[in-house]
Amino acid sequence: MGSFIKTYFDKLLDKILLRWLKRRAQGILLNEVKVWGDPGRVHIASTAIVHNALFNTVSGSIRVDEFAFFGHNVSVLTGTHDVAKKDLERQNSAPGEGRDVVIGRGAWIASNATILGPCTIGRNAVIGAGSVVTTDVPDNSFVAGVPAVLIKALSP
């Protein structure tokens, strides 16, 4: 009987420990910011909320201003390649600068959105989920779609 109880509690402890480890791993992954390029080119205000975002700084810097916030899986990309080139030459054709991205104060970038530099997302702008932003977004506006287009102006 003692062996049965020990085996039962060992299995129960293993199950509890495994559940805790999974939750811990999910928490870490959902808050992990990934940077492709120089991390010194990413500037995130202390009041901004950025979840598991990808920042590509190969071709410019990225600034996230105060009170801006992201949904999950947002990509902010400064990098690009020369489509006129081929093979290895295309792979190595990313410019080193000039494609900066600024996310303005209070902007909301919804889950799975992609921001392609160079561009500025205006103050209090909203980017719809899954949108691809390829141009500047005015202050107090809501854009969505692929590519993102103005859906409506928001009250200032």
* Cα separation, 76 vs 34, whole angstroms: 10
pLDDT at residue 31, rounded to an integer: 67
pLDDT at residue 92, rounded to an integer: 86
pLDDT at residue 10, rounded to an integer: 75
pLDDT at residue 29, rounded to an integer: 58
Examine the domain organization and report whether 80 and 100 are in the same domain.
yes
pLDDT at residue 79, rounded to an integer: 84
Summarize pLDDT for 82-137 with one digit per residue, the tens.
Answer: 889 999 988 888 888 889 999 999 999 999 999 999 999 999 999 999 999 999 99
> 135: domain range?
33-153
Summarize pLDDT for 22-65 with one digit per residue, the tens.
Answer: 666 655 556 678 899 999 999 999 999 998 899 999 999 999 99
Share of the chain above pLDDT 90, in %: 66
pLDDT at residue 16, rounded to an integer: 78
Residue 26 or residue 10, greater confidence? 10
Q: What is the CATH number of the domain that holds 113?
A: 2.160.10.10
Examine the domain organization and report whether 127 and 87 are in the same domain.
yes
> What domain count does the chain have?
2
Residues with catalytic function: 81
Examine the domain organization and report whether 41 and 20 are in the same domain.
no
Model confidence at 2, pLDDT cuts 50, 70, 90, reads low
12-47 core/surface letters (b: 16 or more CB in 10 A; e: else): eeeeeeeeeeeeeeeeeeeeeeebebeeebbebeee
3-state SS, residue 15: helix
pLDDT at residue 6, rounded to an integer: 66
